[in-house]
């Protein structure tokens, strides 16, 4: 992004900017968040992903105001020429909505009282706030449950109450901390779509923390990946999948085998067991000559039954039906294990097979 467009973006209402944010905890030599800079455009859904301990929750808490960074700034665009510095503003004053990992629903209040609490804090009259709470509950499909106790709700319903409670105050920014992690797998699938739909409808700027890459890809417009407090890459799900910037991103996102490779101009050469195969290289950023890894995804490989074309030899050690296709696990001659997408015809466990590159560009990352 260029400087000018950055400035416009920063000051647009609802834009949230983290600028060189660092946070250390006493007794821990490594910073939890390390010089992190990130811009979330107005109305954008950005997911922060990373393994546990990567600093994503700390980043979220800094954005929310529950933590103050040791250095760096948090800025909020509010339509003025320059964005406002809110680094030291208390959570009460920020006017953000937050959905907590365990939802943090007030157990002694009914559903509607929970949703109306933010309005109560803003001095909205009781009748008005309950009416607005019911509207918010309608929007998340919980019309009939306003008078229930929150403890009588299922996990999915609690999640929706938490969302309604955060949205009813019309927050400038919505922050979500692992909002799907407490749901069982089937429910989780449908809640992903529902969450994205609701957030899109409200048009709110949202920062969403998850350790689950599938959640991030299903809900977010862009995904930022953290490792040990540092930002590794930020981009659309497609970018992260097809053009990972580092090994860590490639390994975290989707299934991939990373094998050593050489750069040959626009192409990449992978040599296994003395058999060298070429493919188009995808990533432009990597300088030739440096040590590289090719990112072999199941769809970038095919099984090869004939000996006419050069292929790597291996043994099928496993197969998994995955809806429209079958994924084979193949151990190659050099011991590397790759996953290969196929149609399910032939190739049982224990049979020998050939593996070659499909006609798709292959991503490469620095070793």
Residues in contact with another protein by the rule CB under 8 A:
64-66, 90-92, 94-98, 100-108, 117-118, 120-122, 151, 165-166, 169
From edge to edge, which strands make up the β-sheet containing 337-342?
301-304, 352-357, 312-322, 325-332, 337-342
- For the bound state, the minimum distance from the C-beta of residue 174 to another protein, rounded and expressed in Å, comes to 11
- For the bound state, the minimum distance from the C-beta of residue 66 to another protein, rounded and expressed in Å, comes to 6
From edge to edge, which strands make up the β-sheet containing 275-280?
275-280, 267-272, 257-264, 292-296, 363-366
CB 73 within 8 A of CB 150: no
Given the DSSP bridges, would you call strands 267-272 and 257-264 parallel, antiparallel or unpaired?
A: antiparallel
- The residue among 66 and 197 lying less far from another protein, judged by its C-beta, is 66
d(Cα 226, Cα 213) in Å, to the nearest integer?
Answer: 12
- The residue among 98 and 259 lying less far from another protein, judged by its C-beta, is 98
- For the bound state, the minimum distance from the C-beta of residue 215 to another protein, rounded and expressed in Å, comes to 20
- The residue among 170 and 190 lying less far from another protein, judged by its C-beta, is 170
Residue 233 CB partners (closer than 8 Å, separation 6+): 224, 225, 239, 240, 244, 245, 246, 249
- The residue among 114 and 353 lying less far from another protein, judged by its C-beta, is 114
d(Cα 25, Cα 31) in Å, to the nearest integer?
Answer: 7
- For the bound state, the minimum distance from the C-beta of residue 94 to another protein, rounded and expressed in Å, comes to 8
Quickly count: other Cβ atoms within 10 Å of residue 48's Cβ: 29
- The residue among 182 and 331 lying less far from another protein, judged by its C-beta, is 182
- For the bound state, the minimum distance from the C-beta of residue 119 to another protein, rounded and expressed in Å, comes to 9
Residue with tokens 């009588």: 152
- The residue among 207 and 232 lying less far from another protein, judged by its C-beta, is 207
- For the bound state, the minimum distance from the C-beta of residue 168 to another protein, rounded and expressed in Å, comes to 9
CB 275 within 8 A of CB 259: no
DSSP 8-state class, residue 362:
B
Buried b (16+ CB within 10 A) or exposed e, 217-246: bbbbbbbbbbbbbbbbbbbebebbbbbbbe
Nearest Cα residue to 292 out of 304, 281, 306: 281
- For the bound state, the minimum distance from the C-beta of residue 98 to another protein, rounded and expressed in Å, comes to 5
- The residue among 118 and 254 lying less far from another protein, judged by its C-beta, is 118
- For the bound state, the minimum distance from the C-beta of residue 185 to another protein, rounded and expressed in Å, comes to 20
Residue 323 CB partners (closer than 8 Å, separation 6+): none
- The residue among 67 and 339 lying less far from another protein, judged by its C-beta, is 67
């Amino acid at each position: 992004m260029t400087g000018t467009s950055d400035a416009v973006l920063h000051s647009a209402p609802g834009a949230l900017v983290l600028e060189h944010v660092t946070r250390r905890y006493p007794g821990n030599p490594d910073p939890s968040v390390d010089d992190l800079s990130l811009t979330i455009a107005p109305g954008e859904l950005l997911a922060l992903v990373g393994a546990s301990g990567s600093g994503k929750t700390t980043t979220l808490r800094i954005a929310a105001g529950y933590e103050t960074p040791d250095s760096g700034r948090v800025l909020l665009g509010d339509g003025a020429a320059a964005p406002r510095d809110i680094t030291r503003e208390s959570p009460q004053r920020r006017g953000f909505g937050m959905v907590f990992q365990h939802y943090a629903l007030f157990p002694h209040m009914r559903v509607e009282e929970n949703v109306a609490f933010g309005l109560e804090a803003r001095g909205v009259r009781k009748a008005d706030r309950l009416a607005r709470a019911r509207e918010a509950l309608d929007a998340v499909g919980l019309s009939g449950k306003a008078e229930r106790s929150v403890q009588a709700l299922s996990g999915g319903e609690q999640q929706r109450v938490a969302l309604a409670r955060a949205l009813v105050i019309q927050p400038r920014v919505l922050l979500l901390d692992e909002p799907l992690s407490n749901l069982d797998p089937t429910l989780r699938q449908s809640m992903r779509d529902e969450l994205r739909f609701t957030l899109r409808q409200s048009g709110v700027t949202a920062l969403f923390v998850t350790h689950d890459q599938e959640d991030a890809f299903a809900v977010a417009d862009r995904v930022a990946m953290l490792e040990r407090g540092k930002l590794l890459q930020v981009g659309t799900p497609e970018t992260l999948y097809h053009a990972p910037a580092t090994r860590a991103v490639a390994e975290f996102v989707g299934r991939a085998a990373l094998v050593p490779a050489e750069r040959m101009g626009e192409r990449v050469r992978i040599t296994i067991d003395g058999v060298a195969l070429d493919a188009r290289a995808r990533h432009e950023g990597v300088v030739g000559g440096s040590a590289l890894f090719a990112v072999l995804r199941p769809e970038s490989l095919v099984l090869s039954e004939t000996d006419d074309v050069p292929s790597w030899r291996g043994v099928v050690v496993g197969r998994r039906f995955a809806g429209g296709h079958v994924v084979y696990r193949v151990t190659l001659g050099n011991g590397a294990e790759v996953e290969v997408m196929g149609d399910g015809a032939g190739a049982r466990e224990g049979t020998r097979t050939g593996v070659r590159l499909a006609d798709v560009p292959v991503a490469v990352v620095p070793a």
